[in-house]
Structure 1
Amino acid sequence: MKYTWYVTFEVPMDGTLLRRRHPRLTKTFVTEAQARDFARARFTEGLIVTAGTIIPRLPRASIPSEGIPEWLEANHVND
């Protein structure tokens, strides 16, 4: 299985630790649709989300947190 998309999101503080060990986590996906669905779930939780393609995937994509709402609304999927 070749992972070509990633989604990075902030880890919410749960109050169990004095400090967060990993303030951000990254999950990888085979398709853009899977990445978009996961990003949508994290975004609706109010978390800061970024996404993009893993090199050497072409064309490369990098979606900053400010661009996530537009990316989630896009109707096309480039798998």
Structure 2
Amino acid sequence: MVLPTWFVTVQIRKRGLLQKRERSPRETRTFATEAEAKRFAGMKLEEGLVVFAGTINPYSPKRLILSHDVAGWLEEQIESNEDQRG
């Protein structure tokens, strides 16, 4: 069994629809690979939702992708463990 190493958190409501004092409901899912996390994050970003992601402790190196950086993260080349060994 592969343990999840990535999480993606999505703000359930689109921007601009929240009242000033209303909390932002969020949903978080975990993924075994960065590629899976990117696929999910990309779908939610296309829906106009606020998305952020990162690695789950104790995974190293630690990454946190803030909402304003998600589009750039989605465009990054994914390096597999096999590529790093070779």
> Is the TM-score greater than 0.5?
yes
> What is the alpha-carbon distance in structure 2 between the residues aligned to residue 10 and residue 22 of structure 1?
6
Whichever residue aligns with residue 8 of structure 2, its letter is V
Q: Aligned residues, how many? A: 73
> What is the alpha-carbon distance in structure 2 between the residues aligned to residue 50 and residue 7 of structure 1?
6
SS of residue matched to 1:8: strand
Identity %: 42
TM-superposed deviation, 1:63: 0.2
> What is the alpha-carbon distance in structure 1 between the residues aligned to residue 23 and residue 3 of structure 2?
28
C-alpha contact (below 8 Å) 2:5/2:59 kept by paired residues: yes
TM-score for both structures, normalised by structure 1: 0.83
Structure 1 unaligned residues grouped into runs of 5+: 14-19
Q: Which has the larger radius of gyration?
A: 2
TM-score for both structures, normalised by structure 2: 0.76
CA RMSD of aligned residues (A): 2.0
Who is 1:46 aligned against? 48
Q: Which runs of 4+ in 1 moved over 3 A?
A: none
> What is the alpha-carbon distance in structure 2 between the residues aligned to residue 64 and residue 78 of structure 1?
22
> What is the alpha-carbon distance in structure 1 between the residues aligned to residue 46 and residue 38 of structure 2?
12
> What is the alpha-carbon distance in structure 1 between the residues aligned to residue 42 and residue 60 of structure 2?
23
